[in-house]
Chains A and B, each alone.
Chain A
Amino acid sequence: MKPFALLIAATAALLLTATARAELTLVHSERSLYREVLVYEQGSERCMCFTRQCRIGRQSCIDLRRPDQFALNYTRMMLAGTLFASPDPKRILIMGLGGGSIPTALKTLLPNAQVDVVEIDPAVTRVARKFFNFVETPKLNVTELDGRVFVKRALRTGQKYDVVLLDAFDHEYIPEHLLTKEFLTEVKGILGPRGVIVANTFSLSKLYDHESTTYAAVFGPFYNLTRENRVIVTRMDGLPPMAELRERAVKFAPGLQRFGANAGQLVELFDPSVTWDTSARVLTDQYSPANLLNR
């Protein structure tokens, strides 16, 4: 009796793993200086991951049947932050490329804007080109550099941006020098008078409080857009009023529709309330244990 039961259990386990494998297929993998860049497909969805089986989160996803549709919520929120809060974005800086869905969408929605992307890992750029339809143009270029070094140089040469999007973190590791008061102050220095900051951050863990007080210390009050991730949005001349955001949401609604994003729903996510422990210690170059706090 016992061996027979074992046999059944083993067969069942084998079948289960077989079906699981059939669902998530590895399409491409490449080792870079920093990590393994992996491309997985599951049904019609293709994702870029930095861990096997996408165990610790997905960096970027596209729907192969409708490749211009956004597959991840946070990318829609990043786009909403940019389009609704910035009056007239002409120069945009994006830190962290991933699959390139955000810059690609911005290129279409804001054809006159110059979009600069800074990405530390050349393998990510290669994979984005090959598997995620990312195409560079004269108006959309990628610089291969550490984000902080890029911002310091931009600061020295007096560059100004209308929008800066920070998207350089992933779930397993945070570059700690990109989450300090000093870094955010440098970012503030390259924003124009009505410049907008849009930052993809963490919605869980103890880091939420520290990250919030750090952004508040540099930028003052900000909007939170929260789903699985939390996106921080604010403007240099103060929080844009809700009426203004709604106005632009209406304007960009048809454009956003193309990318599978609902402007009316997105604008309702803008929440100015303080939802964190305001006594949490501000992160600085001297004190930045972001990865230890992200537990």
Chain B
Amino acid sequence: MMRLLIHGIALWSGFFVMGIELLGGRLLSPNFGSSIYVWGAIITVFMLALSLGYLAGGRWSKDSPSLSRLALLLGLAALTSLPVLPLSGEPLEHLAIAIPDPRFGALTAATLLFFVPTFISGMVSPYCVRLIVDGETTAGHRAGQLYFVSTFGSAAGTLLTSFYLVLWFEVNAILLSLAAISIALSLVGLAAGRKRP
């Protein structure tokens, strides 16, 4: 049961990250356009934040790991994604004036909006691995399963967001829903963690 929940969190975290990354293009385009630089800046920031998140998550998993702490990471990523909504309006407009170069303007904007929630989301995967690994011989197997669900979640988040969600809902509504699902799942994790520490 606990293993299922951990995999569920990894899957959803992957979905959440890619959902936000795709909507990032939408949020930046009014001020920075949709040139290849803008997508380059967004992808760079997400990859960099994830890579540093992996480092930090792995490190943190050494210090009395628990399901509750994992759930906390998921909830924290959702909460830190919420400032994206007010920031993507007027603040980005000012930023575009301050940094007219489309490359570095977009890079700064993407960092400001997405670095923190993506960094925390990056911490989730190695933390999950720590929680499900049950021995030296099965470590690779377990890690492989976890990468699978996490990256599968990313694929699903990319496809659903770009093919369907943007056709049905407004960008802010999708962002809020993604955060709400993360928080709900985080609460489930916290409750389960309390029952079985």
Residues of A that sit less than 8 Å from B by CB: 33-34, 120, 145-149, 152-153, 156, 175-177, 180, 182-183, 284-289, 292-293
On whether A286 and B172 interact (CB within 8 A), knowing A146-B102, A152-B96, the answer reads yes
The answer to whether A148 and B171 have CB atoms under 8 Å apart is no
The answer to whether B33 and A147 have CB atoms under 8 Å apart is yes
The answer to whether B33 and A177 have CB atoms under 8 Å apart is yes
The answer to whether A149 and B163 have CB atoms under 8 Å apart is no
Segment with Cβ contacts to A, from B23-31, B73-81, B143-151: B23-31
The answer to whether A289 and B35 have CB atoms under 8 Å apart is no
The answer to whether A285 and B171 have CB atoms under 8 Å apart is yes
Q: Which residue of the partner chain, among A145, A152, A177, A182, contacts B34 with CB atoms under 8 Å? A: A177
Q: Which residue of B lies closest to A183 (CB)?
A: B30
Which A-B residue pairs are the 4 nearest by beta carbons? A146-B33, A177-B29, A286-B170, A289-B167
The answer to whether B171 and A152 have CB atoms under 8 Å apart is no
Q: Which residue of the partner chain, among A146, A153, A175, A292, contacts B166 with CB atoms under 8 Å? A: A292
The answer to whether A149 and B31 have CB atoms under 8 Å apart is yes
Given the complex of chains A and B, what is the CA–CA distance between A212 and B175 in angstroms? 28
The answer to whether B166 and A289 have CB atoms under 8 Å apart is yes
Q: Which residue of A lies closest to B97 (CB)?
A: A156
Chain A residues near B171 (CB, 8 Å)?
285-287
Whether B32 is near chain A, meaning CB under 8 Å from some CB there, is yes
Whole-angstrom distance between the Cβ of A209 and the nearest chain B Cβ? 14
The answer to whether B36 and A149 have CB atoms under 8 Å apart is no
On whether A176 and B170 interact (CB within 8 A), knowing A33-B36, A149-B96, A156-B97, the answer reads no
Tally chain B residues at the interface, Cβ within 8 Å.
Answer: 22
Q: Which residue of the partner chain, among A120, A183, A285, contacts B35 with CB atoms under 8 Å? A: A120
Given the complex of chains A and B, what is the CA–CA distance between A145 and B34 in angstroms? 10
The answer to whether B172 and A149 have CB atoms under 8 Å apart is no
The answer to whether B97 and A149 have CB atoms under 8 Å apart is no
Whole-angstrom distance between the Cβ of B85 and the nearest chain A Cβ? 11
Chain B 163-190 interface 0/1 with A at a Cβ cutoff of 8 Å (1 = within) = 1001101111100000000000000000
Given the complex of chains A and B, what is the CA–CA distance between A33 and B35 in angstroms? 9
Q: Which B33-66 residues have C-beta < 8 A from chain A?
A: 33-36
Most buried by A among B30, B167, B173: B30
Q: Which residue of A lies closest to B168 (CB)?
A: A289
Given the complex of chains A and B, what is the CA–CA distance between A176 and B100 in angstroms? 21
Given the complex of chains A and B, what is the CA–CA distance between A153 and B34 in angstroms? 16
Most buried by A among B34, B102, B167: B34
Q: Which residue of the partner chain, among B35, B163, B169, contacts A146 with CB atoms under 8 Å? A: B35
Chain A residues near B170 (CB, 8 Å)?
284, 286-287
Given the complex of chains A and B, what is the CA–CA distance between A182 and B163 in angstroms? 23
Chain B residues near A145 (CB, 8 Å)?
33, 102
Chain B residues near A175 (CB, 8 Å)?
34
Given the complex of chains A and B, what is the CA–CA distance between A183 and B31 in angstroms? 10
The answer to whether A34 and B36 have CB atoms under 8 Å apart is yes
The answer to whether A292 and B34 have CB atoms under 8 Å apart is no
Q: Which residue of B lies closest to A33 (CB)?
A: B36
Given the complex of chains A and B, what is the CA–CA distance between A292 and B168 in angstroms? 11
Given the complex of chains A and B, what is the CA–CA distance between A147 and B33 in angstroms? 7
Given the complex of chains A and B, what is the CA–CA distance between A182 and B29 in angstroms? 12
Whole-angstrom distance between the Cβ of A99 and the nearest chain B Cβ? 21
Given the complex of chains A and B, what is the CA–CA distance between A34 and B36 in angstroms? 7
Chain A residues near B32 (CB, 8 Å)?
146, 149
Given the complex of chains A and B, what is the CA–CA distance between A138 and B97 in angstroms? 27
The answer to whether A177 and B30 have CB atoms under 8 Å apart is yes
On whether A182 and B166 interact (CB within 8 A), knowing A34-B36, A149-B102, A287-B171, the answer reads no
The answer to whether A285 and B102 have CB atoms under 8 Å apart is no
Whole-angstrom distance between the Cβ of B12 and the nearest chain A Cβ? 24
The answer to whether B163 and A285 have CB atoms under 8 Å apart is no
Whole-angstrom distance between the Cβ of B106 and the nearest chain A Cβ? 10
Most buried by B among A145, A147, A149, A287: A149
Q: Which residue of the partner chain, among A146, A148, A292, contacts B167 with CB atoms under 8 Å? A: A292
Chain B residues near A288 (CB, 8 Å)?
26, 166
Most buried by A among B35, B100, B169: B35
The answer to whether B30 and A182 have CB atoms under 8 Å apart is yes
Q: Which residue of A lies closest to B166 (CB)?
A: A289
Most buried by A among B33, B102, B163: B33
